[in-house]
Amino acid sequence: MKQNKYEGKIVDNKEQLRDQLQPLSPNKHLDNEEYHQYVTYLDQALTGKKSSEIDNIAIAGKYGSGKSSIIDSYFAREDNPNKNNYLKVSFATFNKKPLTADIEKDDQTENTKEERKHEKKQNARISANIINQIIYQVDPKKIPLTRFKVKRPILISNQSAICIELVLLLSLWLNFHLFWPKNVAFVINGVRAVLIITLFIYLLFQLLARLEISKFKISLKSVDTEIDTSNDDLFEKYIDEIVYLFEKSGKRILIIEDLDRFDNLTIFEKLRELNIKLNHINKFRKSAQHWQFIYLIKDDIFADPNDRVKFFDLIIPVIPYITSNNSFDKLTSFFPKNNDRLRYILSLYIDDYRLLLNIHNEYQVFESIGSATGNTAEKDQLLALIAYKNKFPDRFDDLQNGKGELAEIVSSYKANIEKQVNAIDQKIIEIKIQKDSTIANKEAEYLYYWARKNNLVYYATANDFTRRSINTFDLAQHIIQKNLVVQIGNENREPYLDFKSNQVNYANDLRNVTAFDEELQKLRSQKELITKQPLQNIDKDVFEGKPLNEMLYALIRSGYIKEDYLYVINHYYGDNANRIFMRGLLSDSDDFDTHLHLTKIGDLIPRLEAEDFSKKQILNFDLLAYLFTENQSDKLLVMLETAIRYKSGFIEEAINLEYSDSNIDLEDKPTVRNPLVEQLQGFHQKVLELQPQIHFDLSQFTSEFWIADSNLEDIIKHNRYDDTNSNEEILISYLDQLTDNKLNLQIINNETVYVALKQKIITDILARVDLADITNNDLKKLALQKNKIHKTTENLLAYFDLSGKVFDEKLVEFINNNNWESSSIKGLSDEFYQKFVATENISEPQFTVFMKASTDIAGWLSDALINNLKPEKIKILFELGGLPIKATTIQLLIDKDVQVGSTLIDKDFKQLVVDKKISLSKALLLNVLKTPGKNNKLILSRNLSLLTQDKIHEQLRQLHDDDSDKLLKVMDHVRGFTSVKLDNLEPDTNLLHWMKDQSLISNFEVLGGSRLRVKK
């Protein structure tokens, strides 16, 4: 099996390897084909024929590419002649900004001199660090003369030796020559002096070896010389000391790792100079060593490519073990059970193997001991958050505290949803206003009206051939719901839906009527979709004005980091949320999160005081669920009171969780089902038990809540809401979807229900009912006013009685706004008809239908009522035969100038006019003359003053009798007209008198008493 650069040994069980934590340190035991190729290159550079020409070697590659593993494995090889022939220094900076940024870079006025001073200081620190690391790698015994001392403990043997030396020195110092002969004493004193000097020098060296001089000062007269090891260029000032260290180390290779992290090229220049000096000095020494410096650096340390190749004598590039091309494979090997797309997204942004290893380690720990639930989606989100943490560690603290860029994204997302919901609510209000101004605002109503107007009938079944009228709204609704067969006139029978499609005019007009409901339903559905819109639907606008974090954006858009990220974080990262919760509670912070995931709540409860439950910061769903499941009703009651007092929507959201059923798969990423859903089962009923008078904010409830059994009825019947228009609109929308007229009536007749809601039900959604179905008189009147009462005799009489036997405005509108059939209103009382006829605002079509329905108009219609009628209604009564043919009736027609049609004037009418010698109006006269009759000529002659000469001429021509023709000759002065003889009867006499008055003739005479003749 092939081994990678970081694996310590070959492991056949990949699953076992995945379960282990992987060390982040470089691997010193590489043994694969790629590594052996690097061994060849390093052997050539360090011991090859041209190695003497190579002083500075770069091992170049990106972070995590395996540079350290290659070098460590190479020098760990047993057969490597340079195995113990190297020194190694390593650097790391973990500041959030490079060390060169100690001086603020955004200060545009900073002094260049200060920058140089800082750079010099940094170079000295790096140089000192290099020397320090080298000193600790060299045996102190080999460098007794170095001034850079290593602090080490004094051994007991050394301490004993020093004591003996001091005693000996003291004893030598004492004068013992008194005990010796003079000639011997001289010799003894000489030896003693030599020993004293020798011991003193030895002790001085011992003392100097344990002292470190970092700064000393020489003063001579007015000249001062100061040496400061903290600021001076150590490579320049102490080159001899450094050469001494390198020479005595017994090594010849210096490995320098991660020096590029400082982004400081000056120190590279200093090291190159040091290498040159070392190799130059060693040329003049017997044991000359060829020093080679190996730099482990990233590829882009030199901005200028020419500088890069000039600086190094050899550059060995390292192909990264993990790249953008194989990152996905590596992620798959570590996270095989996680989502494939998640691994792919992470592979686009994670190409550092150490980073990948640490992500694996953290994930392994949290998955194993972090109370993992086993939910794949939750584990995917955990992996996404751990990857985010490792990629952006400086931002994760804010993330855990519900702050930072992700919190801002979620906040922006919620604000955007609220903005969209408000806009939709405003549109709904506008459309409802338009809808309320439309009489027919439902398809059933429109079908009813259209059927009455166009004689549309329906059939109970497809095999039924009995034509039935569509005479109620409920019936129209039934036809629509069941798609019954309908027929207009003698056209083809067809199901309603086909009829609606084929009848273009009907469909077009219906579209205008039903567009309101369709648009309202569309907006409500759109609103619900928006409120359930997951965080992954955000767009780049949330990053407006700030840099786009591509990795975070990709994880959110793909659904791997959700709005409940804090729940996952706190679920695995311990009780950090508990501290946040308590800090917010104790400080009365306005910035608190009700969704903060609390753990070990049983331990948290004792730390809460009674008054804490009255603070709005106590509102937390995990705490609420704990109090509910543990049946701590006293604390729960106070918490509910707090939520109600602050009108936070907290209780409503908790109830929504109880009825939530949102465990829906999105592609291959199932959403995390909130554990609170199970914990809060029965919470709604508990709220009603503890707070029976609670008023909910209905706008907070989801559709899942409303469709649950009895919730809608309970809210309405117990008035569990504020009596506001917005709340009523919500209730109406859900009642409308039920289309349950029986339920609507129950609500209307419930005395405890808000009157405003009852009125709105009647106005907006109630289908037609009988007046007796409604118990409240005011609501009966409203139902009639809103045209929600069946058109029956019983309902008319019931309302007539209710209104005090008067025709009020509501009853008049009800009659005028409906199409009536006389057959449906038989049996109305005489008193009703008398008040009906006396009411001025009844429209003519309705007046006609109602008069047709009466079987005994003459029985209740008095002269006084007739005299007060308008001409139009008198005409209707006359045309319907409701007025008796008598002189007073005819005179009434004349006085009211009623335009009676000629078809209604019979011979009896004309005979009465003749007998009673009634003077007609011009209009009535012309209508009388339109129909032939023996009395026409007489009636004409008695009303000649109403007509013009031409009109009289025309009427005589239409009579078609001999006398009329003779009279026409006289009028036209036809030759021989003076010889014309006429009967001496009233019609001819009246006409001749008129001609005389009109100067058409001079006079006429009576011949023999029975004949008349015109004089010349």
Percentage of the residues of the chain whose pLDDT score is greater than 70: 80
Query: Is 0.85 topped by the overall pTM?
Result: no
The DSSP symbol for 767 reads: P
pLDDT band at 156 (very low <50, low <70, confident <90, very high): low
pLDDT score of 284 more than 80: no
pLDDT band at 713 (very low <50, low <70, confident <90, very high): very high
pLDDT score of 6 more than 50: no
* Per-residue pLDDT reduced to its tens digit, 485-495: 999 887 888 99
What are the extents of the domains in the chain?
Answer: 28-93+121-209+228-320, 575-663+673-694
pLDDT score of 302 more than 60: yes
| Per-residue CA distances from 614 to 393, 579, 630, 1004, 1010 (Å) | 37, 19, 19, 118, 120
The DSSP symbol for 220 reads: E
Under a CB-based contact definition with an 8 Å cutoff, are residues 1002 and 1015 in contact?
Answer: yes
pLDDT at 441: 58
Task: Please choose, from the candidates 855, 897, 859, the residue with its C-alpha nearest in 3D space to the C-alpha of residue 880.
Answer: 855
**Cα–Cα dist 755/774, whole Å:** 13
Residues forming a β-bridge with 456: 488
- DSSP letters for 841-900: T--HHHHHHHHHH-S-HHHH--HHHHHTS-HHHHHHHHHTT-S--SHHHHHHHHHTT---
pLDDT band at 621 (very low <50, low <70, confident <90, very high): very high
**Which residue's structure tokens are 């003996």?**
164
**Cα–Cα dist 106/25, whole Å:** 36
The DSSP symbol for 218 reads: E
* Per-residue pLDDT reduced to its tens digit, 935-962: 888 888 999 999 999 999 999 888 888 8
- DSSP letters for 610-647: GGGGGSGGG--HHHHHHHHHTT-HHHHHHHHHHHHHHT
CB atoms within 10 A of CB 286: 5
pLDDT at 7: 42
pLDDT score of 636 more than 60: yes
Residues forming a β-bridge with 137: none
Under a CB-based contact definition with an 8 Å cutoff, are residues 88 and 47 in contact?
Answer: no
CA 356 centroid distance within chain: 34
Percentage of the residues of the chain whose pLDDT score is greater than 90: 17
pLDDT band at 217 (very low <50, low <70, confident <90, very high): very low
**Which residue's structure tokens are 């405890």?**
752
Higher-pLDDT residue of 194 and 931 is: 931
Under a CB-based contact definition with an 8 Å cutoff, are residues 844 and 872 in contact?
Answer: yes
3-state secondary structure of 57: strand
**Cα–Cα dist 796/123, whole Å:** 105
Under a CB-based contact definition with an 8 Å cutoff, are residues 892 and 921 in contact?
Answer: no
pLDDT score of 224 more than 60: no
pLDDT at 392: 83
> Which helix H or strand E contains 1013, and what residues bound it?
strand 1011-1014
Within 8 A by CB and 6+ apart from 567, the residues are 595, 597, 672, 674
Under a CB-based contact definition with an 8 Å cutoff, are residues 734 and 706 in contact?
Answer: yes
3-state secondary structure of 665: strand
* Per-residue pLDDT reduced to its tens digit, 855-874: 888 888 888 888 888 888 88
Q: Where are the beta strands (DSSP E) in 61-180?
A: 86-90
List the single range of 137-151, 548-562, 953-967 with lowest mean pLDDT.
137-151
pLDDT band at 578 (very low <50, low <70, confident <90, very high): confident
**Cα–Cα dist 995/967, whole Å:** 10
**Cα–Cα dist 617/36, whole Å:** 64
**Cα–Cα dist 144/837, whole Å:** 135
**Cα–Cα dist 698/711, whole Å:** 11
Residues forming a β-bridge with 486: 458, 494
pLDDT band at 742 (very low <50, low <70, confident <90, very high): very high
| Highest-pLDDT range among 305-319, 360-374, 640-654 | 640-654
Phi first, then psi: what are they for 696, rounded to 5°? -85, 155
Under a CB-based contact definition with an 8 Å cutoff, are residues 642 and 618 in contact?
Answer: yes
pLDDT at 445: 79
* Per-residue pLDDT reduced to its tens digit, 172-205: 555 544 455 666 666 666 666 777 777 677 666 6
**Cα–Cα dist 293/59, whole Å:** 11
CA 710 centroid distance within chain: 29
**Cα–Cα dist 664/673, whole Å:** 9
SS3 of the chain: helix, strand, coil, percent, to 5: 60, 5, 35
Q: Identify the sign of the CA torsion 545, 550, 552, 555.
A: positive
pLDDT score of 25 more than 90: no
pLDDT at 95: 47
Q: Which two tokens stand for residue 20?
A: 């282990």
List the single range of 196-210, 498-512, 692-706 with lowest mean pLDDT.
196-210
Spell out a b/e string for 786-805, using b for 16 or more CB atoms within 10 Å of the CB, else e. Answer: bbbbbbbeebbbbbbebbee
Phi first, then psi: what are they for 913, rounded to 5°? -65, -40
pLDDT score of 108 more than 50: no
**Which residue's structure tokens are 């070896």?**
209
Higher-pLDDT residue of 62 and 937 is: 937
Alpha-carbon Rg for the chain, nearest whole angstrom, is 56
**Cα–Cα dist 75/28, whole Å:** 9
Residue 373 class from Cβ within 10 Å (0-12 exposed, 13-18 middle, 19+ buried)?
middle
**Which residue's structure tokens are 């008095």?**
862
3-state secondary structure of 700: helix
For the domain spanning 28-93+121-209+228-320, the CATH number is 3.40.50.300
Higher-pLDDT residue of 550 and 35 is: 550
pLDDT score of 110 more than 70: no
* Per-residue pLDDT reduced to its tens digit, 381-436: 888 888 888 888 777 666 666 677 777 787 788 788 888 888 888 888 777 776 66
Task: Please choose, from the candidates 266, 242, 249, 258, the residue with its C-alpha nearest in 3D space to the C-alpha of residue 90.
Answer: 258
Strand-strand pairing, 292-297 and 665-666: unpaired
pLDDT at 789: 93
**Cα–Cα dist 803/800, whole Å:** 5
Q: Which two tokens stand for residue 383?
A: 């992996």
Within 8 A by CB and 6+ apart from 928, the residues are 902, 905, 909, 910, 913, 920, 936, 939
> Which helix H or strand E contains 1007, and what residues bound it?
strand 1004-1007
Task: Please choose, from the candidates 11, 14, 12, 7, the residue with its C-alpha nearest in 3D space to the C-alpha of residue 32.
Answer: 7
Higher-pLDDT residue of 322 and 177 is: 322
Within 8 A by CB and 6+ apart from 459, the residues are 465, 466, 467, 468, 484, 485, 486, 487, 493
How far the first Cα of the chain sits from its last, in Å, is 150
pLDDT score of 18 more than 70: no
pLDDT at 624: 94
pLDDT band at 665 (very low <50, low <70, confident <90, very high): very low
pLDDT score of 800 more than 50: yes
Under a CB-based contact definition with an 8 Å cutoff, are residues 687 and 636 in contact?
Answer: no
Residue 40 class from Cβ within 10 Å (0-12 exposed, 13-18 middle, 19+ buried)?
exposed
pLDDT score of 475 more than 80: yes
**Cα–Cα dist 1014/1006, whole Å:** 9
CB atoms within 10 A of CB 853: 18
- DSSP letters for 479-522: HHHHT-EEEETTS--EEHHHHHHH-HHHHHHHHHHHHHHHHHHH
pLDDT at 175: 54
Q: Which two tokens stand for residue 123?
A: 């170079």
Within 8 A by CB and 6+ apart from 77, the residues are 39, 83
Please state at what angle helix 633-646 crosses helix 621-629, rounded to 10 degrees.
150
| Highest-pLDDT range among 60-69, 527-536, 782-791 | 782-791
Higher-pLDDT residue of 63 and 175 is: 63
Average pLDDT, the chain: 79
CB atoms within 10 A of CB 176: 13
**Cα–Cα dist 983/134, whole Å:** 161
**Cα–Cα dist 865/834, whole Å:** 8
